[in-house]
Amino acid sequence: MGSVSALQRPRVGHIQFLNCLPIYWGLMRSGALIDVDLHKDSPERLNAALVAGDLDIGPISLVEYLRSAGDLLLLPDLAVGSDGPVLSVNIVSTVPLDRLDDRPVALGATSRTGVLLAQMYLETYVGVRPTYFRSPPDLARMLDEADAAVIIGDVALRALHDSPQHGWQVTDLGQAWRDWTGLPMVFAAWAVRRDFATAHPGLVKDVHEAFLRSRELCLTELDEVAEAAARWETLSAATLAHYFRTLDFSLGDRQVAGLHEFARRAAALGAVPPLPPAGPAFFKG
Ligand SMILES: C=C(O[C@@H]1C=C(C(=O)O)C=C[C@H]1O)C(=O)O
């Protein structure tokens, strides 16, 4: 990969789910959008692009970060997580979870962290061993072929809303993790490729600061963000505002402790390499 010329905007990923709409709103309102080459996509495609070097900076599923930590630096104080319910990372099931032994469970293809957390939770906490298969995140089809589905993002948020009329049971994996460990869950973090950070530290600092400003700005305007989004959604503005307030975009000490605990448990199962003892490496602008 050649180095980026000083005149080329940083290639920055953006999750095309409602969960990151507040961040987008802030980038738009502050004018920072004009200084980045923004790539909107689903999380699994953004993960792959950042790891492959087709993006310089972007959100990455925690699990994929742990698998490629040697090539990446985390941007401080920025994440997609929750301290309790998250509302949009769910196991949707047609039977109680303790009846899933040997039963088919569909894992949504857009998720890496949520689907691993679901497997850890089912096997270690609930004590069942389902048969998993990966599936496009189409809930109706998943529940046709399986007794439970693990889904994230808009599909999961809508499923939570529609569950009473369908008789589905919804297990919120942010809440499940909190009940299990007492800690917040970090589903995705923002990372920069180490090679890009070395070559263009000033650009990375600018993008990081733009994201932090964006987060602050959108938090003060969440009702407006929700009103604007609801025009294109089946969910109400009040539901969306509640969702945006439930999500935790920060990565403070408690969130980093949650990240460590998830990494430790996932590594013990052989699902990811262990984190170095010093913890994740951060970009220091
Ligand atoms: C809270 C969420 O966090 C996400 C969960 C991810 C995963 O499970 O791999 C990846 C990116 C985030 O979008 C969500 O998608 O609803």
Q: Which residues line ligand 1 (CB under 6 A)?
A: 15, 17, 19, 43, 61, 80, 86, 88-89, 111-114, 152-153, 156, 187-188
Centroid of ligand 1 to alpha carbon of 267 (angstroms): 20
Centroid of ligand 1 to alpha carbon of 126 (angstroms): 22
How far apart, in Å, are the Cα atoms of 48 and each of 1, 21, 43, 75, 127? 16, 21, 9, 18, 32
Which among 14, 17, 139 is the best mutation to test ligand 1's pocket, defined by most ligand atoms within 8 Å of the CB? 17
Residue appearing with tokens 């000083």: 6
Task: Tell me the pLDDT band of 121, cut-offs 50, 70 and 90.
Answer: very high
Task: Tell me the pLDDT band of 1, cut-offs 50, 70 and 90.
Answer: very low
Mean of the per-residue pLDDT values of the chain: 96
Residue 67 has pLDDT above 70, yes or no: yes
DSSP assignment of the chain equals -PPPPTTSPPEEEEE-SGGGHHHHHHHHHHTGGGGSEEEEE-HHHHHHHHHHTS-SEEEEEHHHHHHTGGGEEEEEEEEEEESS--SSEEEEESS-GGG-TT-EEEEETT-SHHHHHHHHIIIIII----EEEEE-S-HHHHHHH-SEEEEEHHHHHHHHHHHHHHT-EEEEHHHHHHHHHSS-EEEEEEEEEHHHHHH-HHHHHHHHHHHHHHHHHHHHTHHHHHHHHHTT-SS-HHHHHHHHHHSB----HHHHHHHHHHHHHHHHTTSSPPPPTT---B---
Q: Kindly list the structural domains of the chain, giving each domain's residue range(s) and its CATH number in brackets, ordered by start.
A: 11-83+186-268 (3.40.190.10), 89-181 (3.40.190.10)
3-state SS class at 190: strand
How far apart, in Å, are the Cα atoms of 149 and each of 5, 154, 206? 45, 14, 40
Flag whether the ipTM exceeds 0.95: yes
185: which strand partners? 82
Residue 3's pLDDT is: 54
Which among 80, 119, 186, 243 is the best mutation to test ligand 1's pocket, defined by most ligand atoms within 8 Å of the CB? 80
Among candidates 232, 240, 236, 280, which has minimal Cα distance to 260?
280
Predicted TM-score (pTM) of the model is 0.96
pLDDT tens column, 145-159: 999 999 999 999 999
160: tokens are 């939570």
Which among 50, 62, 111 is the best mutation to test ligand 1's pocket, defined by most ligand atoms within 8 Å of the CB? 111
pLDDT tens column, 201-255: 999 999 999 999 999 999 999 999 999 999 999 999 999 999 999 999 999 999 9
Question: Which atom, in ligand 1's list, is nearest to the CA of 87?
Answer: 16
Centroid of ligand 1 to alpha carbon of 111 (angstroms): 6
Q: Which residue is closest in CA terms to ligand 1's atom 14?
A: 153
Centroid of ligand 1 to alpha carbon of 113 (angstroms): 7
